[in-house]
Structure 1
Amino acid sequence: MDIAYAPAGRRTRTRTSSVPLAAAAWSAATGALGLWWSSRPEHYPFPPDPGTTAGTLLDVVPPALVPPALVAAGAVGLGAAALARAGWARRVVLLVAAAWFAVFGLAVPGLRPLVLAGYLMAVFGPVVLFATVLTGAWRWRGGPLAVGAFVLVGSAAWGTGLADGDVVRRYLAVLGSALPRTVPPLFAAFFLTGGLMWAVLGARTALGDRTSGQLPAWMRPDATARWGRTATFVAAACALPYGLLRLTWLTPWPFGIDPAALAAAPEMRLHGLLLGLAALAGAVLTTGLVARWGEVWPCWVPVVRGRAVPPAAAVVPGAVVAALFTVAAVPMVVITVASGDLFGLVVFPFFGWGPALAIAVLGYALRRAGGAPDGAGTIGGS
């Protein structure tokens, strides 16, 4: 994230030229998608389903209206991106950017991108973590102990039937059968990506005429260290209810599901626990925004151990997850209130989780870009 403004009199178009190009590419793809769905309506993946809601605008818009709307949105987006590239008609660019962020970034995605991201994290997260630790273990004093812990946990899961051969096969079969259902979430993620892209373009257009000068007090490293640390702990705490409640599935009193259902479908227990562990891992990763290992790669990471962490390595995924949570907040509240189970707002506190994580990521980005001394603002730093 850039926080330094261009010197007075210098245009910023060369620094932001990739953003209008990316917005133009997304707009062209959106228009093409609308044309395809117009000619092949049977491939439209969001048919109205009164029995199921994903908290998206597409749940209520008639399918026949969506393709022409996408064609129009693509054409308007291409024009606005061209204006932004040329540095003309800033108000028009800002208007389109705000509208496209509101529609494609907030109203269209719903819960689907978040559900897809959570499932991917649950399935691939443990594999990536184990492979990373195993690869870097032999250059790290505690490496053999960490590998041994993984082996011990895996052996216990196998021996207790939590993740033995039969359960794993059933789980993989469920994942295979679910692959066709990933198409709507992928399109929803595409729309969310475009909405965020237009938000970035709008923000940079609004700041395009700013000149260099003293940063506001709240953007200085000492200030970002304070409010960024608070936001980080709030965001990390928001991940705990879901993760900890999922761990009750290891007991005879699982929360949120009938014990008989778990006994009949043990792959559900494995999947639920993986989702819960993904949430807890997210809490740990969130603390990296104010931890020393969020600035310097820890010793168990192969190849890059001991090197400075590029800010984008934390800012990009953190901002994406914050966007997923924030977008999911309104539909989750609506669905939870409609169901009458308000405890769901405690289990999934997206209304606070998303904004808190976004503020934490912003604090990290400003602190790193502001040239703070190594360790300043971290848990163990000054």
Structure 2
Amino acid sequence: MPSPATTPAATPPPRWAVWAAHATTLVVLPSGLWRIALALGHPAGYTTEGFADFQSLDAKLWLLTLSVVSELLALLTLGLVRPWGETLPRWIPYVGGRVIPTRPVVVTAGLGALALTALWANIPWWWTYPHENMTDTGNLIVGILYQPLVLWGPLLAAVTLSYHRRRTRQRTTA
């Protein structure tokens, strides 16, 4: 019989946590799509002079990388409400089928939630900062596209707390 510390939680996540985990992928999407538009050569709200900074190959690669990595990190939140976030899938060589320890997941996700909350805390005041290299319409649209990022950290924190409660509750009742 496996020890309680290695038994994955059999309790399903609450519906709100599943919705919140999926929402994290959606709050990252608008800004990522905007950066991809920039990388593909659309000025996306910049003036001609401002857009010139995004024409180099390095800038385009950075924009694409940032967009993809951001979305992949947001997708990791789904692991907090899916079975693969508790037990590694069997198809993974050497480690497949092993239970993922709760504490490292909670610490990593919790630190990520704090970092994201701090990183995007000033976004609600986007329009109070000068953006000389953007058109007025571009400034408005980009501000709107970045506003959902304010929710990323708090959503991740809520889902992490749910994961922690579910996993530790299972361990104490086993």
TM over 0.5: yes
1:298 aligns with 2:97: no
1:371 partner amino acid:
Q
1:285 corresponds to which of 61, 66, 76: 76
> Aligned partners of 2:93, 2:22: CA distance in 1, in Å?
28
> Aligned partners of 1:256, 1:289: CA distance in 2, in Å?
36
Asked if 1 retains the 8 angstrom alpha-carbon contact of 2:113 and 2:153, the reply is: yes
CA shift for structure 1 position 271: 0.9
Aligned length: 149
After superposition, the Cα gap between the structure-2 partners of 1:313 and 1:242, relative to the gap in structure 1 and judged at 3 Å, is farther
After superposition, the Cα gap between the structure-2 partners of 1:306 and 1:268, relative to the gap in structure 1 and judged at 3 Å, is same
Asked if 2 retains the 8 angstrom alpha-carbon contact of 1:239 and 1:282, the reply is: no
1:237 corresponds to which of 21, 26, 31: 26
| Rg comparison, structure with higher value | 1
1:357 aligns with 2:156: yes
> Aligned partners of 2:109, 2:83: CA distance in 1, in Å?
17
> Aligned partners of 1:261, 1:323: CA distance in 2, in Å?
31
After superposition, the Cα gap between the structure-2 partners of 1:240 and 1:366, relative to the gap in structure 1 and judged at 3 Å, is same
2:63 corresponding residue in structure 1: 272
Q: Percent identity?
A: 31
> Aligned partners of 2:35, 2:119: CA distance in 1, in Å?
20
CA shift for structure 1 position 254: 5.0
Query: Could you tell me the TM-score, scaled by structure 1's length?
Result: 0.35
After superposition, the Cα gap between the structure-2 partners of 1:326 and 1:303, relative to the gap in structure 1 and judged at 3 Å, is same
Query: Could you tell me the TM-score, scaled by structure 2's length?
Result: 0.71
Matches within 5 A, 1:306-325: 306-325=97-116
Greater relative contact order (Cα 8 A, min sep 6): structure 1 or 2?
A: 2
- Structure 1: stretches of 5+ with no match in the other structure: 1-220, 373-382
Asked if 2 retains the 8 angstrom alpha-carbon contact of 1:225 and 1:367, the reply is: no
Q: What does the per-residue CA deviation read over 1:85-117, in whole Å, with 9 as the maximum and x for residues that have no partner?
A: xxxxxxxxxxxxxxxxxxxxxxxxxxxxxxxxx
CA shift for structure 1 position 308: 0.9
- Structure 2: stretches of 5+ with no match in the other structure: 1-10, 131-138
2:129 corresponds to which of 339, 345, 354: 339
Matches within 5 A, 1:179-194: none
> Aligned partners of 1:313, 1:305: CA distance in 2, in Å?
18
1:359 partner amino acid:
A
| CA RMSD between the two structures | 2.6
> Aligned partners of 2:44, 2:73: CA distance in 1, in Å?
21
